[in-house]
Structure 1
Amino acid sequence: MSVGISVGAVGETTQPCPQCGAEVRADGRFTAWCAGCDWNVDPERPAAQEPGRLERRRRRLAQRHGERLAAEVAAGGTLRPRRDAEGVAAHLIALAVHGVTVALAAGAVWFLVTGWGGAGMVLGVVLALLAWTLRPRFSELPDDRPLLGRADAPALFALVDEVAAVVGTRGVDTIAVGAELNASVTTYGIRGRRLLTIGLPLWEILTPQERIAVLGHELGHYSNGDTRHGLIIGNALRSLATWRYFVAPTPNPTAVEAVVNLVLLVPRALLQGLLMLLDRLTLRATQRAEYLADSAAARAGSTEAAASVMNRFLVLDSAETMLRREANARQVSRRGTTAGQEPWQGLWERLGAHMASVPESEYERQRRAAALRGHSVDTTHPPTHLRHRCLLTGPPLPAAVTTDASTESRITTELAEPRRTMAKHILKHGLDH
């Protein structure tokens, strides 16, 4: 028996659901699915291998933390940054890891000084190289994207400062403009200067109020106790991962290598245990930090704008597909451009028009798919449906920060050159991740 598919408006198809028989109306550009029985709601769900026992435990723990935090908010509780027993234990472990690195450096100095001209020199050099490899790292400014200082973009920095004041922190020292569908904050240099990275493809598909909500979310990470990416714990996780690399078993070993693998079995297990313990101790704080950042987004841009941003993130795959299609077309030919117009011109306007045409049914499908996936994809972030629910719990917050047409025009002018640069970059190299 064949299933009939009829075509209505341009790009729209109608067919019966093969699972429940209900009528399925779909935009031909997006996945057809049934709102009645959820048939085909998540065909792209990662078909990864069955996770191991440890990964299953990690996912269950992440789910429990995420749901408990969501329940706290639903019950009228207020999430605040806090230093609990888990946080203290995580810092103690991290300091012990760094203590080992310091001991290696001290040992290297001792052997180099006392073993001058002897075998101690060799051991000292080895310890020095090991300590150098394990040393805490300070991020540096990226050199592959436009960087803006306060003199370059005074209106944008003024907006960032205003949002920062609302969420209880200070502004940033530098703004980087990237080609990713994301935004992020970090620190760089030994003095811990602040860097905000704005992915221009994301910035271009947001409304002015949604942009303020995104800034509120990212700046909120500076003040909400997100320890996993901090200098102490973040570097300890990196050091432990480096140690684990050093003692990793040799594949297809010879007889001697097999003996070495066996000798390193216990250190390898200890390092894996420490990594798992540190990950577990910081998992709840990391999820709490996301909820707190969402709260900061709502305070700065309004609850409505923060919730709207989450909906935008649900369909970012569509934006990525459109931009990749533009880049592929650019590689094949220059067709579709008018005389005297470069291919990159109008890219952001075409992206905005594409995202404005995404039907509500695709947003709903992605919301349901996100709920089905839960923590199976990303255990460090609470699932989007829980974050969305928490945002809408309680009375909606008005926007504490708004912009007028004049401010938006000045910011657009300040970003004019990065807009050109990133449009050319995307058409030539694709998207950054």
Structure 2
Amino acid sequence: MESNTTTAAPSTRACPECGSPVPLDAKYVEWCAACGWNVDPAAPDAEPGRVAAFRRRLAREYGDQLSAEMEGGADGSAPRARDSSTVPASGVALLVHGVTALLVVAGVLLVVVGWDTLVQPAIGALLLGIAVVLRPRAGRLPKDGQVLYRADAPRLFELIDEVGAVVGTAGVHAVVVGPEANASVTVYGVRRQRVLYLGLGLWEILAPQERVALLGHELGHFAHGDVRHSRVTGGALHSLSVWYYLLAPIPSTRLPDLFVNAVTFVPRWTVYGLLRLLDGLTLRASLRAEYLADASAARAGSTEAAVALMDRLLVAGSVDQQLRREAVAAQMRGGRGGREARDQAERGLWERLAAQFAAVPEHEYERLRRVAVLRGHSVDSTHPPTHLRRRHAAAVGPYPAQVAYAGAREAAVAAELAPSRAVLARRVILDFVR
């Protein structure tokens, strides 16, 4: 009779560089904590474009300076995110809006007084069309999410109000729930009402107090302000970005295209220079606002939760990949007509996502923290490097949790989000493979 005992596969192997034990897990990268072997085998995933590269460089430079400054004397209750560059930034922004206003005036004059020829009204209409594209715009509610108002989710809004009171601001008028691993705040409409975008891809992988810290960070942007999202400066950045897009060179070797590229060369680089100038004048204040928002996260959810939130941001980039794998697996099991397979995939989708990311081992987080330092990882090109944000969140405090989120309260909020979770699970399974 054969023995039922089998030799278990080793859970570690020797590092090829230094011989130290390396944990083995098929789901994660093999790397050595002792010498750093294979800590970053993948290529950096930087945002493309000259403007994004400039912003990343400034974010790294200013991020390190600001982190050192704020850790040296900040207690998390620092003043609003204003510095000496705000005034000249407003001046540049008003200049940009002045150009838009000039286009409107010139367009109206050409249309009204230029009827002797057909050319002048046509040019005037073109100028007015460009001015419409460049105009400052009131934000709108995102159309790709589930919109909740206070009557739809009173316990969720109660939680948001309590977090807002801790960080020194009011709550929001609406919450938009989507599937992405993201969260943000903005304003919409002429009355600039507040809205919180809550991505289930991020919310579901967080522990309860980490969710409070996330709300504290987002509402902290309202409490501390951010010049890049103000009506004047934010609108100017939008206008310059549109100009830069419209004046982009045409990738062609035909003579007419080469002529257009030559004609737009000077305006294009003028716009690029203004965009860099306004970025340089506002990015430091914006990065400071991020650090202040992280301090707000620590005050609301606890220092420990705010630091853990930074770690979660390191793995959040793979949430979309996992959701796509879930969608593909559902399609393969049942085909596009397999309703039963899709229903099964939709049920428990968010629970499976949370379980997978809860199982990420500490050695993988440590690897990602080291990669963040090597690459200067950040959420995007306008955020400070994540490892500096983590260090700052740990330095301001330590704070205990001022907003508790567990037990019956957590269950009540989950029940209010349940309809949105079901709708978005269906959308993930149906749309992520298209």
Verify same fold: TM over 0.5: yes
Q: Does 1:161 align with 2:158?
A: no
Distance (Å, rounded) in 1 between the aligned partners of 2:175 and 2:38: 41
Any idea what the Cα deviations from partners look like across 1:12-67, whole Å, max 9, x if unmatched? 74222122222212222111100011111111231779998x98765544322111
Q: Which amino acid aligns with 1:179?
A: P
**Counterpart amino acid of 1:64?**
E
Map of 1:189-204 to 2, 5 A cutoff? 189-204=189-204
Alignment equivalent of 2:34, drawn from 36, 47, 72: 36
Say whether the 8 Å CA contact 2:327–2:433 is kept in structure 1: no
Deviation for aligned residue 1:342 = 2.7
* 1:238 positional shift: 1.9
Q: Distance in 1 between matches of 2:126 and 2:33?
A: 63
**Against the structure 1 CA distance between its residues 266 and 356, is the aligned structure 2 distance closer, same or farther, given a 3 Å change threshold?**
closer
- Aligned residue identity for 2:367: R
Q: Which amino acid aligns with 2:73?
A: G
Name the structure 2 match of 1:80. 79
Question: Which residue type is aligned with residue 222 of structure 1?
Answer: F
TM-score w.r.t. length of structure 1: 0.89
Shift of 1:273: 0.7
Query: How far apart, CA to CA, are the structure 2 residues paired with 1:56 and 1:346?
Result: 40
CA contact (8 A) 2:342 2:429 kept: no
Deviation of residue 247 (structure 1)?
A: 2.9
Q: C-alpha separation between the residues in 1 aligned to 2:262 and 2:343?
A: 65
Residue 129 of structure 1 pairs with residue 129 of structure 2: yes
Shift in Å at residue 150 of structure 1? Answer: 0.8
Distance 2:355 2:261 in 1: 57
Q: Which residue of 2 aligns with 1:277?
A: 277
Residues 404 and 254 (structure 1), Cα distance of their counterparts in 2 relative to 1, 3 Å cut: closer
Residue 222 of structure 2 aligns to a residue whose secondary structure is: coil
Cα distance in 1, alignment partners of residues 181 and 354 from structure 2: 13
Query: Is the contact between residue 297 and residue 306 of structure 1 (CA under 8 Å) also seen in structure 2?
Result: yes
| 2:227 match | 227
Q: What is the SS of the residue equivalent to 1:166?
A: helix
Superposition CA RMSD, Å: 2.8
Measured in 2, the distance between the counterparts of 1:400 and 1:31 equals 37
Give the match for residue 415 of structure 1.
417
Structure 1 consecutive aligned stretches of length 4 or more whose deviation exceeds 4 Å: 47-52, 54-60, 337-341, 375-378
After TM superposition, give the deviation of residue 82 of structure 1 in Å.
4.0
Unpaired segments ≥5 residues, structure 2: 1-6
Give the partner amino acid of 1:142: P
Mark the CA change 1:328 to 1:273 in structure 2 (over 3 Å): closer, same or farther. Answer: same
Query: Quick check: 1:180–1:431 contact (8 Å CA) kept in 2?
Result: no
Report the Cα distance in structure 1 between the residues aligned to 2:113 and 2:49, rounded to whole angstroms: 51
Question: Paired residue for 1:241?
Answer: 241
Which aligned pairs between 1:250-329 and structure 2 lie closer than 5 A? 250-329=250-329
Larger displacement relative to structure 2 (284-293 or 16-25): 16-25
Equivalent residue number for residue 391 of structure 1: 393
Q: TM (normalized to structure 2)?
A: 0.89
Shift of 1:292: 0.8
Question: Are 1:176 and 1:195, in contact at CA under 8 Å, matched by a contact in 2?
Answer: yes
After the TM superposition, which residues 138-217 of structure 1 pair with which residues of structure 2 at under 5 Å, given as runs? 138-217=138-217
The answer (yes or no) to whether the contact 1:45–1:373 under 8 Å persists in 2 is: no
**2: CA distance between counterparts of 1:43 and 1:340?**
35
Match in the other structure for 2:365: 363
Please give the secondary structure, in 2, of the residue aligned with 1:75.
helix
How far off its partner does 1:334 sit? 4.2
Distance 1:413 1:354, change over 3 A: same
| 2:4 paired residue number | none
The percentage of counterpart residues that share the same residue type is 50
In the alignment, which residue of structure 2 is the partner of 1:98?
97
CA contact (8 A) 1:314 1:367 kept: yes
Q: Is the 8 A contact 2:377 2:387 kept in 1?
A: no
Give the letter aligned to residue 234 of structure 2. Answer: G
Cα separation, 2, equivalents of 1:130 and 1:319: 39
1:205/1:258 CA distance change after superposition, 3 Å: closer
